[in-house]
Amino acid sequence: MLARDWIGMKVEVIESPNPCEVGIKGEVVDETMNTLKIRTEKGVKTIIKKGRLFKVYADKVYKVKGDLINFRPEERIMRGIIMLKRRKVVW
Amino acid sequence: MLKPAFGIFLLMPLKREKDLEKKIAKERIEFLLNKAQEIKKENYELARRYVELAVKIAKKYRIRLGKLKVFFCKKCLYPYAEGKFRVRVHKSRVIVTCFNCGYERRIPVKPKKS
């Protein structure tokens, strides 16, 4: 999930330091280095990745920490694979 | 997830799996360009953003776009849409003109030998 494309997927924000953002649900429209743009019923909302916890509805349901995808979208393929490898090393 | 022990492993260089990277990158490029084709009638700016992302990924992981690169302008990266481009045949080459930036793409065509 760390290396895959998030555009077009359904996402929910579970945890956030900002209480207004909790529970935002919708489809990812665009992705930049630090933010995700999510299309909800009330319009497109921009959410910072850092410090948030996301729930992603792909073929399975994943919970992903925002800190782990805090890269540019094209850089994430390389970094995501390395990150998964490292996780095996640490644990 | 970031424990203090994690910092030690950050210094350790790991081998990149380039084959796996290229496979994922190809999937993402195809997905993004298809998405751009679907969405270009509703939101032209967003379609351009998708093409931009796809081209960035292709450059980063050195993937050839092949025939897919005919669907958007090389210079301004807007996908060719209705009323935004012109196709002409001139002196055994196809000329595609983009109306957004005026860039002309020339594709040589060999005449058939009878």
Asked if residues A56 and A48 have their Cβ atoms less than 8 Å apart, the reply is no
Q: Which domain holds residue A61?
A: 10-90
The SS3 call for residue A63 is strand
Whether A60 is in a domain gets the answer yes
The mean pLDDT value of chain A amounts to: 82
Query: Which among A3, A29, A87 has the least Cβ separation from residue B24?
Result: A3
Alpha helix (H) residue ranges in A14-57: none
The 10s digit of each residue's pLDDT in A75-88 is: 888 888 887 777 66
Residue tagged 């594709």 (tokens): B107
pLDDT value, residue A25: 87
Question: Could A90 and B9 be called an inter-chain contact, meaning their C-beta atoms sit closer than 8 Å?
Answer: yes
Query: Does the ipTM exceed 0.85?
Result: no
- Tell me if A36 is assigned to some domain: yes
Each residue's pLDDT tens digit, A39-55: 888 888 888 888 888 88
Tell me whether residues B14 and A82 touch, CB distance under 8 A.
yes
The answer to the question of residue A75 being in a domain is yes
Residue type, B19: D
Does some domain include residue A2? no
Q: pLDDT tier at A91 (50, 70, 90 boundaries)?
A: very low
Closest by CA to A31, choosing from A77, A62, A63, A83, is A77
Residue A37: CATH number of its domain: 2.30.30.210
Joined tokens for residue A1: 């999930």
The total number of structural domains in chain A stands at 1
> A77: closest CA among B56, B66, B46, B68?
B56
For residue B3, pLDDT beyond 70: no
pLDDT at B12: 58
